[in-house]
Amino acid sequence: MSTLTECGGPIAQSGAPRPHTEGIVVSNTLRWVVSYTACHLLGAIPVLVNSTLVTDSIIHCLAITNPVVTLVDLDMAKVLGPLRPLLRSKKVGDVHAWSPSWATDKLPANIRAGLSFINDAAPSAQAMRAIVDGVGLGLENLGPDADGTIFFTSGTTGYPKAVLSDQRAALHNTIAGGVSAARNVLRKGGSVNDIVAFPPKQPIVLLAVPLFHVTGCMSWLTRGWTQRYKFVFTRRWNIPEVIDLIKEHNISVIGGVPAVVMGIMQSPLLPKDKFFDAISYGGAPSPDRLAEDLKNRFPNANL
């Protein structure tokens, strides 16, 4: 059974040493995905911090997980750079900013002093494979119950609590998450072969939920890798901008909390002839009539 373990203080474990943790405090971007993937390939535990939290809560999240490295974008660099002495006192490792030099060079000295900087080098796939395969870096002991990812609760009643998810939880979701789609195929008269086959055209998915959340990270991103999804990210929820993305990229799959789906469906900016192949929502109560309204508006979509 997959596990979610609450971490109430600095994480520690008897017996074998726990792998290093690495913080990611960034909004939805391709670099977030690369960083998250790299943490796993290096045998580290990604610490997924909500970049929209107030500064005090962000410091708390880092302090109870003690990442050896924290990766930030330019916006978060401006917040955490001046706080380097405080973070160091809480056993938080170096803060690395990955924004291009033309942007970081303009930062005030007190911010730059608290940061390390990552060059936008692009090593070859062969070089990266040699690093991972040649050294191992903790992957040799990886198993289903090995520590996977640290998420955080919302913090609505206090500071966010760190929650440790194992590798089995993430991998199990790639199977369980497809049950609904498989059911729809069978209901329409399809076969088992239709279920396991990749879709005839690549799904283009609007990822409108944050990647630091278990829904965005596991329900969408991790599963999407196995299904060859193309993802289009939103960095913030703005209906006109979202509709522009839908039209520009010909989005075929939408989902998230009910408010996301309702906002898209009800927007007068959405072209009347725009339809979706699949719509998924959950994580919050939805209006009783939402499923019926969606079926009327998008009659061929898998719900």
Q: Between the ranges 81-85, 108-112, 196-200, where is the mean pLDDT highest?
A: 81-85
Which neighbouring-strand residues pair with 254? 279
110-138 burial code (b ≥16 CB/10 A, e <16): ebbebbeebeeeeeeeeeeeeeeeeeeeb
The pLDDT of 182-193, averaged and rounded, is: 80
The pLDDT of 198-217, averaged and rounded, is: 88
- pLDDT band with cut points at 50, 70 and 90 for residue 120: low
The 8-class DSSP code of residue 213 comes to: S
Q: How far apart are the C-alpha atoms of 72 and 31, rounded to whole Å?
A: 10
- pLDDT band with cut points at 50, 70 and 90 for residue 243: very high
Q: How far apart are the C-alpha atoms of 136 and 163, rounded to whole Å?
A: 26
The three-state secondary structure class of 119 is coil
The pLDDT of 271-300, averaged and rounded, is: 90
Rounded to the nearest 10 degrees, how much is the dihedral formed by the CA atoms of 63, 5, 8, 43? -20
What are the residues whose beta carbons fall under 8 Å from the beta carbon of 192, sequence distance 6 or more?
Answer: none
Please report, as a single letter, which amino acid is at residue 169. Answer: A
The pLDDT of 28-38, averaged and rounded, is: 87
Rounded to 5 degrees, what angle do the CA atoms 206, 210, 211 make? 95
Query: Residue 25 — φ and ψ, nearest 5°?
Result: -120, 80
Of all helices (H) and strands (E), which one includes residue 295?
helix 290-297
The pLDDT of 111-122, averaged and rounded, is: 77
Choice between 278 and 136, residue whose per-residue pLDDT is larger: 278
**13-22, 154-163, 164-173: least confident range:** 13-22
The three-state secondary structure class of 216 is helix
What are the residues whose beta carbons fall under 8 Å from the beta carbon of 196, sequence distance 6 or more?
Answer: none
The pLDDT of 46-60, averaged and rounded, is: 94
Please report, as a single letter, which amino acid is at residue 269. Answer: L
Q: What percentage of the chain reaches a pLDDT higher than 90? A: 39
Domains of the chain: 4-168 (3.40.50.12780), 177-297 (3.40.50.980)
Assign 3-class secondary structure to 121-173: CCCCHHHHHHHHHHHCCCHHHCCCCCEEEEEECCCCCCCCCEEEEEHHHHHHH
pLDDT value of position 121: 60
- pLDDT band with cut points at 50, 70 and 90 for residue 143: confident
- Is residue 240 within 8 Å of residue 269, measured between CB atoms? yes
- How many Cβ atoms sit within 10 Å of the Cβ of residue 290? 17
pLDDT value of position 16: 43
Q: How far apart are the C-alpha atoms of 95 and 77, rounded to whole Å?
A: 8
Helix, strand, coil share of the chain (percent; to 5): 40, 15, 40
Choice between 97 and 58, residue whose per-residue pLDDT is larger: 58
**pLDDT value at 238 more than 50:** yes
Q: What is the mean pLDDT of the chain?
A: 83
Q: How far is CA 7 from CA 10, 12, 164, in A?
A: 7, 9, 7
**pLDDT value at 263 more than 80:** yes
pLDDT value of position 37: 87
Residues 216-225 have pLDDT tens digits of 898 889 888 8
CA 132 from chain center: how many Å?
22
pLDDT value of position 219: 85
The pLDDT of 196-206, averaged and rounded, is: 82
Residues 1-14 have pLDDT tens digits of 233 334 433 333 33
The pLDDT of 168-179, averaged and rounded, is: 80
